[in-house]
Amino acid sequence: MSDKRILLIVGGGISAFKSLELVRGLRKAGIAVRPILTAAGAQFVTPLSLGALCEDKVYSELFSLTDEAEMGHIQLSRQADLVVVVPATADLMARAVHGLANDLATTVLLATDKPVLMAPAMNVRMWDHAATRRNFAQLQADGVQMIGPVEGDMACGEFGLGRMAEPEEILAAILARLAPLARPLTGRRAIVTAGPTAEPIDPVRVLTNRSSGKQGFAIAGALASLGAEVILVAGPVSLATPAGVTRVDVETARDMLAACQAALPADIAVCVAAVSDWRPESVATTKTKKTVQGAPVLSLVENPDILATLSQGPARPRLVIGFAAETDQVETYAQAKLARKGCDWIIANDVSIAGTMGGDDNAVAILRKDGIERWPRTSKTDVARKLAETIALELS
Ligand SMILES: Cc1cc2nc3c(=O)[nH]c(=O)nc-3n(C[C@H](O)[C@H](O)[C@H](O)COP(=O)(O)O)c2cc1C
């Protein structure tokens, strides 16, 4: 990493002090760090500490004759391999979304041709505000890589989502970003199922559920970015196919099973889809009409169990992972599912928490035969990245 350079923007949040620990980690990895400190950031860390740890000059002013003579702001924005914002305040994110360039940090973010990684950090209410959520989603859509925020205690005494990811997590994300050639899943084949299934009742009606497919799509993308060949078997959702992923669209549980079996052999299967447990016993060939006799009775039969079939089949992938979306007794039901299905891990998530089903965040627990690992609530993209890294470690 000795040839790599980071342009580090330190924003004005209470967690700015953690940027100093990040700088130490980056320097230890041999990475050069050029710091930009916002005016608000300078209220939290001193230019002296930041400059000393970076072993470089600290840039703060947009209109500085000396700085512009030494290195123009455009040059500053282009010299690094990666631009990192730690912490990314609500204010900085809002200004970046709108392309504002009213200080050195935002001007550089607008002028850079390099990838950008942000670590948002703020009070839980600021994070929950619709404006912040919109800005976060828009920045992600604009290609900014986000790390965190995570759930935890806040400096203001509150608890919730909005706490900055720890410096070592940010460091790991930076190292992964700077070493894209480290693709530990190269040569591995993965099947990922995602979204709901839709079971026809008649030509116009279906039995389905509220799964958005976001978590499964993110996992497919994360596995592909680590080098895996990924076949994404997707139920009816309107999401873009992640880069490098082969997508097979299906409707029913039986179609989903057939598509998974056709995709075998594979090293990894991650069954994220919310597969309908049942389907109507018979499908009407014409639209069922209202009658004076009242509502029709829907008779259901059980669908095939995709996770159990893949786990217990002759061409079992080496690592089979299932998801358990529950609304109560989450870990108890997930434990039972792990024992019953014959898979290796179950990822349990509590879908009774508002904003999980269909939303952008998730809090999961990984249940293995030898224990449980609980991950704090974070974005589905982060869950996917961490899961892909855990899978790569398992297969290494
Ligand atoms: C004590 C204190 C702590 C703050 N902590 C945060 C924070 O953690 N996250 C945040 O988004 N804003 C926080 N703010 C507000 C920002 O400092 C303010 O929005 C500022 O304009 C951000 O500027 P910058 O993004 O250019 O650094 C805090 C303000 C104060 C006074």
Per the CB < 8 A criterion, the answer to whether 43 and 120 are in contact is: no
State the Cα–Cα distance between residues 235 and 212, nearest whole angstrom. 9
* 260: Cβ contacts below 8 Å, ≥ 6 apart: 191, 193, 233, 269, 306, 310
What does the pLDDT read at residue 1?
Answer: 66
Per the CB < 8 A criterion, the answer to whether 178 and 31 are in contact is: yes
Q: Is the CB of 384 under 6 A from ligand 1?
A: no
Per the CB < 8 A criterion, the answer to whether 365 and 331 are in contact is: yes
Q: Examine residue 184 and state whether it is found in any structural domain, yes or no.
A: no
State the Cα–Cα distance between residues 253 and 11, nearest whole angstrom. 48
Residues 146 and 198 in one domain: no
* CA distance to 5, 17, 160, 340, per residue, from 118 (Å): 16, 16, 19, 41
Residues 207 and 173 in one domain: no
Residues 302 and 339 in one domain: yes
State the Cα–Cα distance between residues 132 and 360, nearest whole angstrom. 13
Q: Are strands 32-37 and 5-10 parallel, antiparallel or unpaired?
A: parallel
Whether the link from the prior residue into 149 is cis, omega within 30° of 0, is: yes
Ligand 1 centroid to residue 189 C-alpha, Å: 45
What does the pLDDT read at residue 150?
Answer: 87
What does the pLDDT read at residue 181?
Answer: 57
Q: Is the CB of 94 under 6 A from ligand 1?
A: no
* pLDDT beneath 70, residues of the chain: 1-2, 180-182, 355-356
Number of domains the chain is built from: 2
Residues 43 and 156 in one domain: yes
Ligand 1 centroid to residue 266 C-alpha, Å: 48
Domain end among 126, 148, 178? 178
Residue among 37, 58, 62, 89 to mutate when testing ligand 1 (max atoms within 8 A of CB): 89
CA dihedral angle for residue 326, residue 327, residue 329, residue 334, rounded to 10 degrees: 0
Q: Examine residue 34 and state whether it is found in any structural domain, yes or no.
A: yes
Can you name the residues that pair with 134 across neighbouring β-strands? Answer: none
Domain end among 115, 150, 178? 178
Residues 107 and 230 in one domain: no
Ligand 1 centroid to residue 141 C-alpha, Å: 24
Using DSSP's 3-state secondary structure scheme, residue 383 falls into helix
Residues 229 and 352 in one domain: yes
Domain end among 141, 159, 178? 178
Residues 88 and 43 in one domain: yes
Residues 44 and 148 in one domain: yes
State the Cα–Cα distance between residues 11 and 41, nearest whole angstrom. 5
**Residue whose C-alpha is closest to residue 259's, from 344, 191, 190:** 191
Provide the greatest CA pair distance for the chain: 86
**Residue whose C-alpha is closest to residue 208's, from 252, 255, 272:** 252
Q: Tell me the residue type at 187.
A: G
Residues 172 and 270 in one domain: no
Q: Tell me the residue type at 116.
A: V
Within its chain, how far is the Cα of 258 from the centroid? Answer: 28
Taking each helix axis from N to C terminus, what angle separates 18-28 and 167-178, rounded to the nearest 10 degrees? 40
Residues 128 and 271 in one domain: no
CB atoms within 10 A of CB 321: 26
Q: Examine residue 193 and state whether it is found in any structural domain, yes or no.
A: yes
**Segments forming the whole domain that contains residue 210:** 189-395
Residues 331 and 368 in one domain: yes
For the domain that residue 387 is a member of, what is the CATH number?
3.40.50.10300
First vs last C-alpha separation in the chain: 22
Residues 173 and 212 in one domain: no
State the Cα–Cα distance between residues 135 and 17, nearest whole angstrom. 24
Using DSSP's 3-state secondary structure scheme, residue 313 falls into coil
Q: What is the DSSP string of 12-41?
A: SSGGGGHHHHHHHHHHHTT-EEEEEE-TTG
Q: Is the CB of 37 under 6 A from ligand 1?
A: no
Catalytic residues: 156
Q: Examine residue 183 and state whether it is found in any structural domain, yes or no.
A: no
Can you name the residues that pair with 105 across neighbouring β-strands? Answer: none
Q: Examine residue 141 and state whether it is found in any structural domain, yes or no.
A: yes
